[in-house]
Amino acid sequence: MTGPVPLHAMRLVFLGPPGAGKGTQAQILAARFGARQIATGDILRRNVADGTELGKKAKAFMDAGSLVADDVIVAMMERELGVGAPFILDGFPRTVAQAEALDGMLARLALPLGAALQFDADRDVLIERLAGRWTNPRTGRTYHTLFNPPRVAGIDDEDGGPLVQRPDDSRDVVSERLATYDAKTKPLVDYYAHAGLLQRIAGLQPIEAVTADVLRALGADGSGGLVA
């Protein structure tokens, strides 16, 4: 069990299956505490849209619901992680090899992790959430037709940009993503439990209740945990 996480040490890893709510909670927390949300999926999708070399390497894997190669992802994260500001890693690491690489990067930067939060949710709920998800491709902000609808259908409340459905949220690709998660990413729960950094969050609750649990887990619910 970790103790309260001071704000300047709010360096968090968010773990969990596709649709568990990692991105939703990372956005809420990042906005609330001025932390940087580093979402590997969003970075990769922007690179695919821009047709960069990284995007070309990643596209086929993403379309199939499998993982982009560890060396490609680790090189990308080496570029992202130089800054010492509080950050939330949303979608990285996703394999034990990536977690070990992250440990090495953070040791070199003298920036230890504060906690790893695992968001748990049942498969049926994950499929329903991904089927109803709408995303702003520019910012990565997400909505849900039933659980978190935008004020105007298809339009982002914040920047007025169009919302789209992700191609990898189709039922077939979601099944592959869930299988990939079970095989490659789930072992990280034990990895971070052994490191004494794991906190489990019940992701099946409404969004606000999940946020309240996250804040409690970080000691940031008014009990004096997060301090500047």
Q: Is 20 helix (H, G, I), strand (E, B) or coil?
A: coil
89 near ligand AP5, rule: CB under 6 A: no
Active site annotation includes 133 = yes
Q: Of 33, 147, 170, 189, which lies in the binding site for ligand AP5, with binding defined by CB under 6 A?
A: 147
166 tagged catalytic? yes
Do the bridges between strand 87-90 and strand 133-135 make them parallel or antiparallel, or are there none, so unpaired? unpaired
Tell whether residue 165 is a contact of ligand AP5 (CB under 6 A).
no
Between 202 and 228, CB nearer to ligand AP5 = 202
What distance in Å separates the CA atoms of residue 78 and residue 74, rounded to the nearest whole number? 6
C-alpha 67/C-alpha 135 separation (Å) is 20
Ranges within 21-50 binding ligand AP5 (CB under 6 A): 21-24, 40-41, 44
CA angle, 210 as apex, 34 and 36 as ends, to 5°? 20
Find the catalytic residue in 166, 184, 200, 216. Answer: 166
* CA-closest candidate to residue 143, choices 40, 127, 154, 213: 154
Where along the sequence are the contacts to ligand AP5 (CB under 6 A)? Answer: 16, 18-24, 40-41, 44, 61-62, 65, 67-68, 73, 91-92, 94, 98, 129-130, 132-133, 142-144, 147-148, 177, 205-207, 210
